[in-house]
Chains A and B, each alone.
Chain A
C-alpha cells in the first residue's frame, strides 16, 4: 500500500540489470544487491524531505533510548564509578551478580513472582473488564472507564494503601481480621516479609488497568457488528462463544499491544514496593530488580555493576515480550 505512494511521486524505478546468464551465483547475488541498493537510494532521494521530518525525533530517540541500551551493555563489562574512567573487567560484574549477590537473586525471584502473578492476572483483568464494560450503555460505559482507569494514572495515590494496611490495630485490614477473630495480634503488613509481596501485588493489580485496558476498550468498540449477527445466525449461542469465536480473533493487534504494555510495567515494578515497604525493606524481602538497579546506580555509584543489572533486565523484558508475541500470534489460528 505504501509502495505506490512513492511511485506516484516520481519514478524510483530503476531498470533491472540485464544478466547474460553466465554469471556465477555470487555475481548474481551482488548484481541484485547493487540493484536493490540503487532503488533504495533513488527512493531515499525522492523522499529526502521525509528524513528531515523524521530527524528531530530520530536524533533524540537515538541519543536517549537506543544509545543508552548499547552503552549499558558496554559499561556492564567495566568497573565505573563516574569519577574514574571505566576500567574493563570482563564478565566479573555478571559473575558476582549471579554467583555472589544473594540480594540480587532475591530481586530476581521477587520480580519474577510479581511479573508472573500480576502480569497475566492484570492482562486478563484488563480484557475481562473491558469486555464487560463494553456491554454497558454508552454513558455508564464512559463513567466506568474512568473509574477503572483512574488508579493507574493517579500518581502515587497508592500510598493510601498504607493506611488500609497499617501495622497497628487501627488499620482497616487488622481491625477487620481482629473483629472476626482470625488474628489476635495486629499484623505488620509492610514489615513482615511474609506479607509484603502479596500486599504489593494487590496494589499493583489495583493499578494494572492501564494503557492496555484503554486499548481493549477501544478495540472492542471497533469490532465489526455484522460479525456478531452473522455469528448468531451461524450458531453462536451465548456471549462466551461470541467472545471466543468472534471477539478475541478480531482483537489480535490490541491483544499484542496490551501484552507489550503489561510486560513492560510488570517487570519494571519498583515504585510500589519501595514506597510501601521501604527502601531497603526488611530482609530485602520486597526488593525487585529495578530497586536493586536504583540502589547500585543512584546510591552506591557502582555504575558498571548497575549496568549489568540493567542489561539483564533488558534481556528479560525483550525475551519475554518476543515469547508472548509469538504465543499471541497463534490466537484464533
Chain B
C-alpha cells in the first residue's frame, strides 16, 4: 500500500515532466503556421496598450499632444520620470516616505502571508484532523466571492480594533488571502509523504519538519504566493483606511499627481509605468516557478 502510494506521488510531481514535448502526432504544418500567425496577431493586440503606456512615458510633453498621435516616441526622454520625482519632492510628505509605506506594507503583508498560509497549508495537506477538510472547503468557497462583499463589516471590525489609520488595517486582512492558502495546500499535497515520515522517525517534531523539510521544498509555491500578494498590495490605494498623508502608500500619491490635469500628462504616463512595472517584473523573473505551482492548482472533487 505504502509503496504504491509513494510511486503515485512521485509520478504526480509536476517538475519531473520534461518541459519540451515533441508531439509530432496529429499536427499539420499548415495548422502550425496558421497558429503562429494568429498568436502573433493576438499578442500584438495584447501588448499594444502596455507598449503604448511605456512609450507615452518616454515622450516629451509636446509629442504627447501631437496630432496624429504616434505610438513610438521620436525623441525618447526620461524627463517625465525626472519631473515625477521633482513633483513628489515638493509635497510635504517626502517621496521616500511614500515609498517606505508601500514597501513596508507590501513586504510585511507578503512575508506574513507566506508564513501563515504555509503553516496552515502544511497541516491541511499532510495531516488528517477533525475540522481540517471542512475548513479547507470554506476557504475554497471564500475564493468564490469578491472582497467587496466583506468591505463594510471589515471596516467596522478594523475600526473597533483601533487599526484605522495604521498600516495594520491593510496588512492583517491581506495575511489571510484565500487563494494563497489554496495554492499552497494543493502544491504541498504533491510533496512525497515519505519525506515527512522519514523526518518524523528521526525524531523531528512538526515545527522542524515544517521549517527544514517542507518549506525549502515548496519554493516554487513561495514565488506564486508572493506575486499574488505583491500584486494585491503594491497597487493598494488604502484610501478607505488610511487618512494621514504620511502613512499613505505611493500609489495614492502617484494617482493624485496623475489626476492633476493636462500639465501633468507626462508625469501621469510615468506613473502608469511605475505602478505596473513591479508586478510584471516579478512575474517575468519567477514565471517558471509560478507555472510549476499552478500545475497543482485544480479543484479536485
The answer to whether B23 touches A129 (Cβ under 8 A) is: no
Chain B interface size, as a band, is 35 or more
B122 to chain A, nearest CB (A): 6
Question: Contact flags (1/0) for A55-69 with B, using CB distance below 8 Å?
Answer: 011101101111111
The answer to whether B142 touches A66 (Cβ under 8 A) is: yes
Give B267-301 interface residues, CB cut-off 8 Å to A: 272, 275-276, 279-280, 283-284, 287-288, 290-295, 297-301
Q: Tell whether A253 pairs with B19 under 8 Å between CB atoms, given A160-B53, A310-B148.
A: no
Nearest residue (CB) in A for B274 is A155
The answer to whether A49 touches B206 (Cβ under 8 A) is: yes
The answer to whether A60 touches B116 (Cβ under 8 A) is: yes
Give B227-245 interface residues, CB cut-off 8 Å to A: 227-228, 231, 234-235, 240
Task: Check: A106 CB closer than 8 A to any chain B CB.
Answer: no
Task: Check: A94 CB closer than 8 A to any chain B CB.
Answer: no
Partner of B176, one of A64, A170, A206: A64
Which residues of A sit under 8 angstroms from B39, Cβ to Cβ? 129, 132-133, 136, 144
Q: Tell whether A218 pairs with B287 under 8 Å between CB atoms, given A50-B132, A161-B49.
A: no
The answer to whether A148 touches B53 (Cβ under 8 A) is: no
Which residues of A sit under 8 angstroms from B284, Cβ to Cβ? 146
A195 to chain B, nearest CB (A): 18
B253 to chain A, nearest CB (A): 14
The answer to whether B298 touches A254 (Cβ under 8 A) is: yes
Which residues of A sit under 8 angstroms from B142, Cβ to Cβ? 61, 65-66
Q: Tell whether A138 pairs with B19 under 8 Å between CB atoms, given A75-B153, A310-B152.
A: yes
A268 to B145, CA, bound (A): 8
Task: Check: A215 CB closer than 8 A to any chain B CB.
Answer: yes
The answer to whether B129 touches A149 (Cβ under 8 A) is: no
Task: Check: A300 CB closer than 8 A to any chain B CB.
Answer: no
Nearest residue (CB) in B for A268 is B146
Q: Tell whether A68 pairs with B157 under 8 Å between CB atoms, given A57-B119, A146-B283, A218-B294.
A: yes
A228 to B24, CA, bound (A): 10
Q: Tell whether A51 pairs with B139 under 8 Å between CB atoms, given A136-B39, A215-B297.
A: no
The answer to whether B26 touches A68 (Cβ under 8 A) is: no
A219 to B17, CA, bound (A): 12
The answer to whether B120 touches A310 (Cβ under 8 A) is: no
The answer to whether A314 touches B280 (Cβ under 8 A) is: no
The answer to whether A53 touches B119 (Cβ under 8 A) is: yes
Q: Tell whether A239 pairs with B26 under 8 Å between CB atoms, given A147-B47, A264-B144, A294-B148.
A: yes
B115 to chain A, nearest CB (A): 8
B241 to chain A, nearest CB (A): 11
Partner of A57, one of B68, B120, B126: B120
Task: Check: A329 CB closer than 8 A to any chain B CB.
Answer: yes
The answer to whether B153 touches A71 (Cβ under 8 A) is: yes
The answer to whether A72 touches B139 (Cβ under 8 A) is: no
Stretch at the interface among A22-30, A39-47, A184-192: A39-47
Question: Contact flags (1/0) for A1-13 with B, using CB distance below 8 Å?
Answer: 1111110100000
The answer to whether B47 touches A314 (Cβ under 8 A) is: no
The answer to whether B294 touches A217 (Cβ under 8 A) is: yes
A211 to B126, CA, bound (A): 25
Task: Check: A154 CB closer than 8 A to any chain B CB.
Answer: yes
Which residues of A sit under 8 angstroms from B157, Cβ to Cβ? 63-64, 67-68, 71
Task: Check: A282 CB closer than 8 A to any chain B CB.
Answer: no
The answer to whether B148 touches A268 (Cβ under 8 A) is: yes
How many residue pairs link A and B with beta carbons under 8 A? The number is: 316
The answer to whether A69 touches B150 (Cβ under 8 A) is: yes
The answer to whether A151 touches B49 (Cβ under 8 A) is: yes
Which residues of A sit under 8 angstroms from B14, Cβ to Cβ? 218, 221-222
Task: Check: B75 CB closer than 8 A to any chain A CB.
Answer: no
B38 to chain A, nearest CB (A): 7
Task: Check: A35 CB closer than 8 A to any chain B CB.
Answer: no
The answer to whether A50 touches B53 (Cβ under 8 A) is: no
Stretch at the interface among B27-35, B77-85, B87-95, B96-104: B27-35
Nearest residue (CB) in B for A63 is B157
The answer to whether A329 touches B301 (Cβ under 8 A) is: yes
A242 to B156, CA, bound (A): 53
Which residues of B sit under 8 angstroms from A65, Cβ to Cβ? 142, 150, 176, 178
Q: Tell whether A222 pairs with B17 under 8 Å between CB atoms, given A43-B129, A57-B176, A257-B298.
A: yes
Nearest residue (CB) in A for B115 is A56
Q: Tell whether A135 pairs with B32 under 8 Å between CB atoms, given A3-B128, A253-B298.
A: yes
Question: Contact flags (1/0) for B15-54 with A, using CB distance below 8 Å?
Answer: 0010111010111100110011011001101110110110
Determine which residue in A68, A137, A229, A264 has the highest number of CB atoms from chain B within 10 A of its CB, and name it.
A68
Which residues of B sit under 8 angstroms from A43, Cβ to Cβ? 128-130
The answer to whether A50 touches B123 (Cβ under 8 A) is: yes
Task: Check: A157 CB closer than 8 A to any chain B CB.
Answer: yes
12 additional contacts (CB under 8 A) given A6-B127, A67-B157, A313-B145: A3-B128, A8-B197, A40-B130, A145-B287, A151-B49, A160-B272, A164-B52, A214-B290, A228-B25, A256-B298, A297-B151, A306-B152
Selected A-B contacts with CB under 8 Å, 25 pairs = A5-B197, A6-B127, A43-B130, A50-B132, A57-B116, A58-B120, A60-B176, A68-B154, A72-B153, A129-B42, A132-B35, A155-B234, A157-B272, A157-B275, A159-B272, A163-B69, A172-B69, A175-B68, A232-B26, A236-B25, A264-B144, A306-B152, A307-B153, A317-B146, A318-B145
